[in-house]
Amino acid sequence: MTKSRYGYYFIILAAALSSLVHIISKPMLETGQGLVEINPIVMTFLVYMICGIFFTPVARKTSQISKFTQKDIIFMALIGFSEVAALSTYFFGMQNSTAVNASLFSNSEIIFSLVIAMLVFKERLNIRECIPFSMIIIGMMIIPIGNEMYQNNISVQDIMTGDLLVIISGFLYAVDITICKYVGDRYDPRRVTQITSFFCAIFALGFIVVFNIPFNFNIAHLPNIAVISILGTGISTLLFLAGLKLIGAVKTILLYSTTSVFGILFAGIILLEEITTIDIISLIITLAGIFLLRNKLAESDEIKQQEQKEIIKGQESI
């Protein structure tokens, strides 16, 4: 029970730290403030390079890289590619979105993770699980996007270059989470975080070279980028992987959705963004759907475990 409790604490803290990415990145990605404009891919490279360097001494006493199989390295490279694509897409989206909306849309990871689980692992939602699943979609996507288009007269093009990119990044993060299930159970999270961070930096640098992206950034941004890198990305990933081991994938993914709560709170307190009644309603509906879905999935897990126990007892009696 103690280990499970630590797992819950790890995931909640990971969610709080992860929400810092929404808050701290927004001012740096805004243009027209007299600062050197930083390209999202350059920012992604700096985030993961700093993260890899930070975790190198931390991971020194864990499993040696030589012990990793070729398949493990391929999986970590895939994690690196998906994370770079996800974070770069997210930063591009943040240029035309708000921190509040980004916090709400961050829950798209849950939807996409469950969809991937249904497609890859042949898991299915029953009728009772469809209701909370629909609540998450309504609260996370339909209400915020519809309200933003209505209130601010936003065009489809703005949605395409802003909020929709944040949602697409959620899909890429869901792919990342799915792959993490493989390596997260096999190796120390500190070593996994270190290796995947360097893979991310390599892929981001490759994009910079191939697309001839100017490597421009303001030195004044480095402290904020370091916070995003070490706390919002590195420590958050470390805690996420540790929690994943302790409480399982479903509980981890659903509990991690509290990122949106912390993100909205921090957006109001730190960035002084307006938190509207619609934002609160969307958040309540989303969290209610997540809570109900978590209970339904837990019930399904208990039924499966009970059935497995009965099968084992039957085999032993024979």
pLDDT of residue 207: 93
Q: Into how many domains does the chain fold?
A: 1
Contact 49, 87 (CB under 8 A): no
Look-up of token digits 């070279």: 209
Q: Cα 216 to chain center, whole Å?
A: 27
Confidence of residue 45 (pLDDT cuts 50, 70, 90): very high
**What is the average pLDDT across 218-241?**
89
Residue 7 belongs to a domain:
no
Q: Is the pLDDT of residue 230 over 70?
A: yes
Residue 86 belongs to a domain:
yes
- Residue-number span of the structural domain to which 133 is assigned: 20-317
**What residue type is assigned to position 88 of the chain?**
S
pLDDT top residue among 315 and 265? 265
Residue 247 belongs to a domain:
yes
CA distance 141 to 138: 6
Residue 78 belongs to a domain:
yes
Residue 125 belongs to a domain:
yes
**What is the average pLDDT across 254-260?**
76
pLDDT of residue 219: 85
**What is the average pLDDT across 156-166?**
66
Residue 14 belongs to a domain:
no
Residue 2 belongs to a domain:
no
pLDDT top residue among 126 and 20? 20
Residue 210 belongs to a domain:
yes
Confidence of residue 159 (pLDDT cuts 50, 70, 90): low
Work out the angle at residue 91's Cα, subtended by the Cα atoms of residues 177 and 272, and round it to the nearest 5 degrees. Answer: 110
**What is the average pLDDT across 152-173?**
72
Instruction: Identify the CA nearest to 297 among candidates 241, 251, 255.
Output: 251
Computed over every residue of the chain, the mean pLDDT equals 79
Can you read off the two tokens belonging to residue 228? 């995003």
Q: Is the pLDDT of residue 274 over 70?
A: yes
